[in-house]
Amino acid sequence: DWNIENVLKEEMDKISATVGPEDHVICALSGGVDSAVAALLVHKVLKERLHCVFVDNGLLRYKEGERVMDTFKNHLHLPVTKIDDSKRMLARLKGLKDPEAKRKAIGAGFIEVFNDFAKGFERKPRFLVQGTLYPDVIESMPPPGKDQKHSHMIKSHHNVGGLPKDLQFTLIEPLRELFKDEVRALGRLPELNVPETFITRHPFPGPGLAVRVLGDVTEGEALDVLRQVDEIYINTIRDFGLYDKIWQAFAVFLPVRSVGVQGDQRTHSSVVALRAVTSSDGMTADWYPFEPKFLQTVSSRICNGVRSVNRVVYDITSKPPGTIEWE
């Protein structure tokens, strides 16, 4: 019978059968629900032979690194090593404008970090745990009969299509057949006991803010501006009690400038777009119909709070034809 308790048992059994008694395993934590649930599940089987890594790639949200490290330690009780790879990652991204090129560079950067980390072991870990979900697999898959190079896949999610061909690890992906709501149900089981505030976090893509700063992310202050705008946006959504009604909400930094007037002065500064969608699995989505009062509040909070932004627009595109992320 398919039920979530059985999924837990079966996936734990698979890990016992795959990983040898002497093997050590690395787990890539993103800070989101999926990788945390995958890690907890594997941790139940392997205990101290599981080594979790959280990479600060310079593409995280406002205070995200500190916040998730606190959750891992104090709420999930998972030992995690934090690795700062931000300088190297931003150098890799310098000058890259094409969304797929950016995704590939980020995927390769992650693997470099894990390869380096694995070198520190006497017996090199052969396995890498990832929180890949079923929709990630589907959306990164070339259509039948097409090879990767000529594929019309939607996006190479960094943890599926974005990985290098010569990957030195065998992947362990215990959530590969599950949808998001099933992963949340798994995390809620008493055996894993993930706190509800963590379970209900909006999804966040592996390539982070890089797919939310359109074009070259290393140009100017875009990442910093985006962090500030995003924090104001999410806090306002929480103030209005809307966080749990929305699948995902975030801001996008546009590489254009528009003319404005702030304090009697002409300005020529940045435009940000806000996106919020409802969805059941991320494969299709509808834009969220905020009340005008909300839009008014968030727009003035952003323009008053972030000096270099003088215009806020709201994305009214569903998926399809848009994807959830802009890149």
Interface region with ligand XMP, contact rule CB under 6 A, candidates 15-23, 212-220, 227-235, 316-324: 316-324
Could you give the angle at which helices 86-93 and 99-119 cross, rounded to 10 degrees? 150
Task: Find the binder of ligand XMP among 15, 203, 232, 294 (CB under 6 A).
Answer: 203
4 binds ligand XMP (CB under 6 A): no
323 binds ligand XMP (CB under 6 A): yes
Spell out a b/e string for 125-144, using b for 16 or more CB atoms within 10 Å of the CB, else e. Answer: bebbbbbbbbbbbebbeeee
Cα dihedral across residues 192, 198, 199, 204: positive or negative:
negative
Cα-flanking dihedrals φ and ψ of residue 48, to 5°? -75, 0
**Which one, 131 or 267, has the nearer CB to ligand XMP?**
131
CA nearest to 28, candidates 130, 171, 127? 130
Task: Find the binder of ligand XMP among 69, 138, 154, 246 (CB under 6 A).
Answer: 154
Q: Hey, what amino acid is at 48?
A: E
Min dist CB 299 to ligand XMP, Å, is 23
- DSSP 3-state of 260: strand
Task: Find the binder of ligand XMP among 178, 205, 210, 270 (CB under 6 A).
Answer: 205
Q: Where would I find the beta strands (DSSP E) of the chain?
A: 25-29, 50-56, 80-84, 127-129, 170-172, 248-262, 265-278, 286-287, 309-314
Rounded Cα distance between 158 and 163, Å, is 6
Beta 286-287 vs 265-278: how paired, if at all?
antiparallel
45 belongs to an annotated ligand binding site: no
**Widest pairwise Cα distance in the chain:** 70
Task: Find the binder of ligand XMP among 139, 173, 182, 230 (CB under 6 A).
Answer: 139
How many of the chain's residues bind ligand XMP (CB under 6 A)?
17
Task: Find the binder of ligand XMP among 24, 43, 51, 158 (CB under 6 A).
Answer: 158
Q: Where would I find the beta strands (DSSP E) of 90-133?
A: 127-129
**Which one, 19 or 113, has the nearer CB to ligand XMP?**
113
159 binds ligand XMP (CB under 6 A): yes
275 binds ligand XMP (CB under 6 A): no
**Which one, 187 or 282, has the nearer CB to ligand XMP?**
282
**Which one, 19 or 315, has the nearer CB to ligand XMP?**
315
Rounded Cα distance between 174 and 161, Å, is 17
Min dist CB 32 to ligand XMP, Å, is 7
92 binds ligand XMP (CB under 6 A): no
24 binds ligand XMP (CB under 6 A): no
157 binds ligand XMP (CB under 6 A): yes
Min dist CB 277 to ligand XMP, Å, is 9
Task: Find the binder of ligand XMP among 110, 282, 299, 303 (CB under 6 A).
Answer: 282
Query: Would you tell me how many other CB atoms lie within 10 Å of the CB of residue 35?
Result: 22
**Which one, 141 or 297, has the nearer CB to ligand XMP?**
141
Min dist CB 17 to ligand XMP, Å, is 26
Here the tokens at position 126 are 């052969």
Task: Find the binder of ligand XMP among 112, 216, 231, 325 (CB under 6 A).
Answer: 325
- Burial class for 3, CB neighbours closer than 10 Å (0-12, 13-18, 19+): exposed
| Binding site per annotation, positions for ATP | 30-36
Residues that bind ligand XMP (CB under 6 A): 136, 139, 154-155, 157-159, 203, 205-207, 248, 282, 319, 323-325
